[in-house]
Structure 1
C-alpha cells in the first residue's frame, strides 16, 4: 500500500500575516523562513494526526484487493474521485462508480464493492489498483481552530528555537494537547 500526494493544499491553514502577528514581527526579511516553517508545521501535524487540513488530492495504490472494505488512510475524506485497475495493456482502466460504494463520512473512510459484485483482478501483481481521493476540511478557514493554533504555535516554536535538537524530540506539550483530540489511532 502506497500513499502518494497528487495535489497539495492551495493554501496553508495559517497565513504568513497571522504568524507574523503572533510573533510580533514587523520586519519582513525572515518571511521566507517563516513561510517554510508554516508548511513544515502543517505537514508535521498532518502526519501526527493522519489528517489532511486543507483539501488535497491523494492516490492510494494497492497490489491486491483486501478481503474487507478498503480503509482510506487520511481523514476527513471529501470524495473518492476514481478507482482504476491495471489492464493487460498496462493502462489503468477506471471502474464505474456504480460498482462500488464509499463511506466518506466514517473514520476511517471506507470503500467496498457493492453486494453481488466482485472486484476485477488487476493484470499486474504490483501496484495494479489505484484509488484517487480528496481529503481535507476545505479551505484554511474550515480547518478546526485547535489544529490551526497548533500549526501556528509549532511554527513559532521552531522560529524561536532554531538550534537542532537531539533524537527523540517531541512536539511541545501545548501543541500536543491541541492535536490530541484529532489524532487517528493505528491498531
Structure 2
C-alpha cells in the first residue's frame, strides 16, 4: 500500500459564502456578531471540505509519498542486494490519485534520492487527468532510480472549483449556509453543533467522494 501524507500549502483566499449571505440566511441584523459569524463560515467550510473530501475555493496542496511497500524501521532483509532501491520497495506507481480535488494543475513533482538531494521531475514525464484527479506517467516515462523509501516524492498541486465563490456548486453553498445558521443557533452546545444538519448532508451527498482516498 502506498503511504502518503497531505499538507495544505496555501489556504483559500476567500470563503464560498459571504458574511452578508450568512446573515441574510440566518436572519441576523446588526453587526455585533459579525466576527463570530465569520469564524463560523470558515468552520462550516472546513467541515464541508472534510466531509466531501474536496477543495472548494482554489488552494494549494502538497502530497508526500513513500515508495510502495516502504516499511518502518524494522529490518526486513538480512542479505546484501545490488540494484536500485526502487526495485526492492516497489517504486512509485504510474498512476497517483491526488486527494482533495477537483485538481486544476500540478505545480511541481520533486523526488529525493538516498542522499536526500532533491530534483524536479520534468513535467514532460506526466500529465494531469482532470476527470480522475490523478497524475499519470506518460508512455515510456519512468521514475528516477534510487528514490529514498520514505517521503521520496512530493507533488504540489492546485485544487478547488475556482478562485471565486460563484464557481462552487450552489447546493454546496446552500449546505454551508444551513450549517452556519445551525452553528450560530447551537453555540455553547458543542456536541450538537459539531454534527452536520440533515439538510446539509443531503445537499452534500451528490458531491461526496467515497472510498479509501486520503481526505
Q: What TM-score results when the alignment is normalised by the length of structure 2?
A: 0.80
Instruction: Report if aligned partners of 1:84, 1:93 keep a CA contact under 8 Å in 2.
Output: yes
Measure, in 2, the Cα distance between the counterparts of 1:176 and 1:114: 39
Equivalent residues in 2 for 1:64-103 (5 A)? 64=67, 65-103=91-129
Instruction: Report the alpha carbon displacement of residue 171 of structure 1 after superposing the two structures with TM.
Output: 1.6
Deviations 1:104-145 (A, max 9, x none): 2x23x1112222221114542211200011000111111000
Aligned position for 1:53 = 56
RMSD: 1.6
Deviations 1:12-38 (A, max 9, x none): 000111111112222212111111110
| Alignment partner of 1:171 is 2:196 | yes
Measure, in 2, the Cα distance between the counterparts of 1:12 and 1:118: 40
Aligned position for 1:33 = 36
Deviations 1:122-173 (A, max 9, x none): 542211200011000111111000001111110110000111217xx64211
Q: What TM-score results when the alignment is normalised by the length of structure 1?
A: 0.91
| Runs of 4+, deviation exceeding 4 Å | none
Question: Any gaps of 5 or more consecutive residues in structure 2?
Answer: 68-90
Structure number with larger C-alpha Rg: 2
Residue 141 of structure 1 aligns to a residue whose secondary structure is helix
| Alignment partner of 1:151 is 2:185 | no
Aligned position for 2:206 = 181
Instruction: Report if aligned partners of 2:113, 2:146 keep a CA contact under 8 Å in 1.
Output: yes
| Alignment partner of 1:110 is 2:134 | yes
Change (3 A) 1:75 1:156: same
Aligned position for 1:141 = 166
Measure, in 1, the Cα distance between the counterparts of 2:27 and 2:117: 54
Aligned residues: 183
Question: Any gaps of 5 or more consecutive residues in structure 1?
Answer: none
Measure, in 2, the Cα distance between the counterparts of 1:17 and 1:47: 24
Residue 165 of structure 1 aligns to a residue whose secondary structure is helix
Instruction: Report if aligned partners of 1:86, 1:92 keep a CA contact under 8 Å in 2.
Output: yes
